């Protein structure tokens, strides 16, 4: 019986051959979590504050896209906070230097952080699409563009929410998603799961260029009378979006060995830092510019 054993003093995994476990003062790269998460959080917050302030000064009101952007920002900070909390339970430490109970707590928090990440990215992408929909409606109405945006919103919501449900209920015994003591539980293939999610995420990011360019053309952002500053801004936004699509591919490539590794507490950081880049930079910048 699991309850008859004190797992607070049972190693989570055996160390590799020639390595001695260190449960007292294990080596860690936890400081890297703060070095990556806090600066990115501050940058995204600055963009959102500019967006909300500008919107309020111009029309003295906020729309649903503004609210979703704020929700996305809050969830991004929650994701950052969860990463810091995870450090207390072995985040950035080799798994063989942890006891079983700490590894279980880490996996529970990791599941929560995955859920928050999906919701943060969903909220900010919906905010961008709603902004584009509002701008296209205010200029020259285009039914085809509106249908395209609504379909893209539905696609983004469906794959994001489905990913959350699979992450939580993806095992025949739900607790097997975080309890490493459970053996022989049947779970969804994680490699296939992340490949599908990453592909959907990349597709949704690229297809957001379409309505963005249409709105830009309607509002005269690409005409000859456009100033150099605006041209630089347009180029910068396009460059950032291309960079973040590349980041999504890099993140997927790094995640594959992570999914096959037992040392998930240490290896997660190398994947999570790319999550932070995606969730903190693209949506606030893109949404602020089009606003």
59 pLDDT above the threshold of 70:
yes
Among 94-103, 130-139, 179-188, where is mean pLDDT lowest? Answer: 130-139
pTM (two decimals): 0.84
Q: Considering its fold, how many domains does the chain have in total?
A: 1
Residue 16 vs residues 34, 255, 256: alpha-carbon distances, Å: 29, 21, 20
Q: Which span out of 41-55, 63-77, 87-101 was modeled with the highest average pLDDT?
A: 87-101
CA dihedral 91, 93, 99, 100 (to 10 degrees): 50
DSSP β-bridge partners for residue 171? 187
- 17-27 mean pLDDT: 87
Cα–Cα distance for residue pair 151/204, rounded to 1 Å: 11
288 pLDDT above the threshold of 60:
no
Q: Is residue 231 part of a domain?
A: yes
Q: Is residue 3 part of a domain?
A: no
The pLDDT, as a whole number, for residue 5 is 78
**How many CB atoms lie under 10 A from the CB of residue 203?**
16
Among 132, 145, 80, which Cα is nearest to 109's? 80
- 176-189 mean pLDDT: 87
Range of the domain at 137: 9-14+27-290
Q: Is residue 22 part of a domain?
A: no
Q: Is residue 117 part of a domain?
A: yes
Give the domain CATH number at 197. Answer: 1.20.1070
Q: Is residue 1 part of a domain?
A: no
User: What does 103-129 look like in DSSP terms, one character per residue?
Assistant: HHHHHHHHHHHHHHHHHHHHHHHHHHH
Q: Is residue 80 part of a domain?
A: yes
The pLDDT, as a whole number, for residue 225 is 55
The pLDDT, as a whole number, for residue 1 is 47
Q: Is residue 69 part of a domain?
A: yes
Q: Is residue 120 part of a domain?
A: yes
Q: Which residue has the higher pLDDT, 154 or 227?
A: 154
């Amino acid at each position: 019986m699991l309850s008859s054993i004190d797992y607070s003093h049972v190693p989570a995994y055996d160390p590799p051959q020639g390595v001695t476990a260190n449960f007292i003062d294990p080596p860690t790269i936890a400081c890297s979590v703060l070095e990556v998460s806090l600066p990115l959080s501050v940058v995204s917050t600055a963009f959102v504050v500019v967006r909300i302030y500008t919107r309020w000064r111009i029309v003295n009101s906020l729309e649903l896209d503004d609210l979703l952007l704020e929700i996305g920002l809050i969830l991004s900070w929650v994701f950052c906070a969860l990463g810091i909390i995870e450090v207390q339970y072995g985040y950035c430490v080799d798994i063989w230097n942890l006891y079983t109970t700490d590894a279980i707590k880490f996996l529970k928090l990791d599941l929560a952080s995955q859920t928050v990440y999906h919701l943060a990215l969903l909220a900010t992408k919906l905010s961008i699409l709603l902004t584009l929909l509002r701008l296209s409606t205010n200029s020259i109405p285009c039914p085809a563009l509106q249908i395209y945006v609504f379909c893209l919103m539905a696609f983004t919501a469906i794959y994001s929410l489905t990913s959350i449900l699979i992450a939580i209920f993806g095992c025949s015994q739900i607790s097997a998603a975080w309890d490493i003591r459970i053996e022989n539980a049947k779970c969804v293939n994680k490699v296939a799961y992340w490949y599908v999610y990453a592909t959907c995420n990349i597709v949704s990011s690229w297809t957001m260029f379409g309505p963005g360019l249409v709105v830009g053309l309607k509002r005269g952002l690409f005409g000859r009378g456009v100033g150099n500053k605006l041209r630089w801004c347009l180029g910068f936004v396009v460059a950032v979006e291309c960079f973040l699509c590349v980041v999504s591919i890099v993140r997927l490539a790094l995640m594959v060995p992570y999914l096959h590794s037992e040392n998930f507490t240490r290896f997660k950081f190398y994947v999570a830092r790319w999550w932070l880049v995606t969730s903190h930079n693209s949506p606030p910048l893109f949404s602020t510019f089009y606003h």
